[in-house]
Amino acid sequence: MSPEDTSTASTSRAPVPEGTISVAVGLFINGISTYVFFKIGQQALGQDGFKPIVTMWFIAFALIPGFFLPIEQETSRALAHRRALGQGGLPIIKRIIPLAAVILGGLMIALALAAPGATSNLFASNSVV
């Protein structure tokens, strides 16, 4: 093998980006643990008793992140861009915090207004959930 071949082999790109394997393992563990949680919960509480918890799980882990995921992605993109330019990220954070606060405030107001109806319709009148 010539020296040119070894230098090319050592600088070749990995088949997947750095961190992909750890994210995949984490998602796999998350999926399995969610399945086990739902299976055990439904067996322990019965299908009707577990419905309010399923609804709460959906709101907490599927619905609410949908409001904040675009902010997270745009913030990450902007911070990476500024880092590549050798600039700090404080201006980005100063612009994002008020936006996130407005969204959070709006969600809290909506929750306060919807709580009575949501408790009876979505959570089978179980105010603890």
Over residues 46-71, the mean pLDDT reads 88
Q: Using one digit for the tens of pLDDT, what is the confidence trace for 8-27?
A: 555 567 788 899 999 999 99
Asked whether 125 and 117 are in contact (CB, 8 A), the reply is no
- How far apart are the C-alpha atoms of 51 and 42, rounded to whole Å? 8
Q: Rounded to whole angstroms, how far apart are CA atoms 123 and 102?
A: 27
Residues 6+ apart with CB under 8 A from 38: 50, 54
Domain residue extents for the chain: 52-121
Higher pLDDT, 117 or 8: 117
